[in-house]
């Protein structure tokens, strides 16, 4: 099992000192708009760390939609070639297809057509991902942010429709909790579950003041990890701070990692 954390490049030193096994960066670092000299500088900078960017999030900006009227998926060819090629070069192994703005279905647009467009896009992405040793994982997003692919079941259904070894499923406890989805939903995914996002748990020692967190829901992290363990899940788990709980990653990152490892080790005994 590998525990990682979603960070930006400037936070990698803190993540490394905290002891995370890998970091999850944003694809914005490697898009075609980043010229080759900037990419080479990034690659050189990343070589200075022992922790590697094995996972990447924010695959597509909303300016690159893959569903809707007039979408020309052939225009994605260069984007996929550059981004996935660069991610592979940097040691990336997983790319998260969340991208709610890019996959949001326009009002009145055929949902069946939108689904077929996503299938076509994922086939294109799978072709490039396979060439670079990468797996694309479909992330369910809460309905408030996107009107498509809102549950683990939705992601599984789409992955099976694509039916490519390079396209699998992600489970994110933040989105699952927001949609009142049971932690047992991951059981349907089985071996297709290849990546996980965890919200920051409420652990002793996180920074004050705590009142800013009063509207954050309770996340059933123990039972979620128990479900993963029962499935013999042994891929990656990334901590993602969508609630913005971290106030001092240098100090709090190790506390969260120790908490999660303690639960996992107890479950694995």
pLDDT in tens, 163-202: 999 999 999 999 999 999 999 999 999 999 999 999 999 8
Q: Which residues, 6 or more positions from 45, have their beta carbon under 8 angstroms from its beta carbon?
A: 9
pLDDT for residue 37: 98
Per-residue pLDDT tens digits for 145-157 = 999 999 999 999 9
Per-residue pLDDT tens digits for 33-60 = 999 999 999 999 999 999 999 999 999 9
Per-residue pLDDT tens digits for 244-265 = 889 899 999 999 999 999 999 9
User: For residue 187, what are its two tokens?
Assistant: 């059981």
Distance from C-alpha of 4 to C-alpha of 161, rounded to nearest angstrom: 29
HEC states along 216-227? CCCCCHHHHHHH
pLDDT for residue 152: 98
Provide the sign of the torsion angle of the four alpha carbons 252, 183, 59, 242, taken in this order: negative
> Could you tell me the CATH number of the domain that includes residue 38?
3.20.20.150
Residue 92 structural domain: 2-268
Distance from C-alpha of 36 to C-alpha of 58, rounded to nearest angstrom: 20
Strand partners for 48: none
Count of structural domains within the chain: 1
Per-residue pLDDT tens digits for 107-144 = 999 999 999 999 999 999 999 999 999 999 999 999 99
Mean pLDDT of the chain: 95
Do the Cβ atoms of 173 and 157 come closer than 8 Å?
Answer: no
pLDDT (average), residues 196-223: 80
């Amino acid at each position: 099992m590998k525990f990682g954390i979603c960070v930006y490049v400037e936070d990698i030193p803190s993540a490394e000192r905290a002891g995370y096994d890998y970091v999850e960066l944003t694809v914005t670092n490697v898009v075609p708009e980043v010229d080759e000299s900037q990419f080479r500088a990034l690659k050189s900078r990343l070589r200075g760390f022992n922790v590697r960017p094995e996972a990447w999030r924010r695959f597509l900006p909303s300016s690159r939609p893959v569903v809707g009227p007039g979408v020309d998926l052939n225009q994605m060819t260069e984007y996929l070639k550059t981004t996935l090629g660069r991610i592979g070069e940097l040691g990336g192994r997983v790319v998260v297809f969340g991208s709610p703005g890019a996959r949001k279905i326009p009002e009145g647009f055929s949902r069946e057509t939108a689904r077929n467009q996503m299938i076509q896009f994922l086939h294109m992405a799978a072709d490039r991902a396979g060439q670079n040793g990468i797996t694309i994982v479909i992330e369910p997003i809460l309905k408030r942010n996107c009107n498509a692919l809102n549950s683990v079941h939705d992601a599984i259904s789409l992955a099976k429709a694509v039916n490519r070894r390079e396209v699998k499923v992600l489970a994110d406890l933040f989105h699952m909790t927001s949609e009142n989805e049971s932690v047992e939903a991951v059981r349907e995914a089985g071996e297709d579950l290849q990546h996980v996002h965890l919200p920051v748990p409420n652990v002793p020692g996180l920074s004050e003041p705590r009142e800013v967190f009063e509207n954050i829901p309770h996340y059933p992290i123990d039972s979620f990890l128990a479900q993963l363990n029962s499935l013999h899940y042994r891929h990656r788990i990334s901590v993602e701070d969508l609630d913005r709980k971290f106030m001092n990653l240098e100090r709090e990152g190790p506390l969260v990692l120790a908490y999660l490892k303690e639960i996992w080790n107890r479950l694995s005994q």
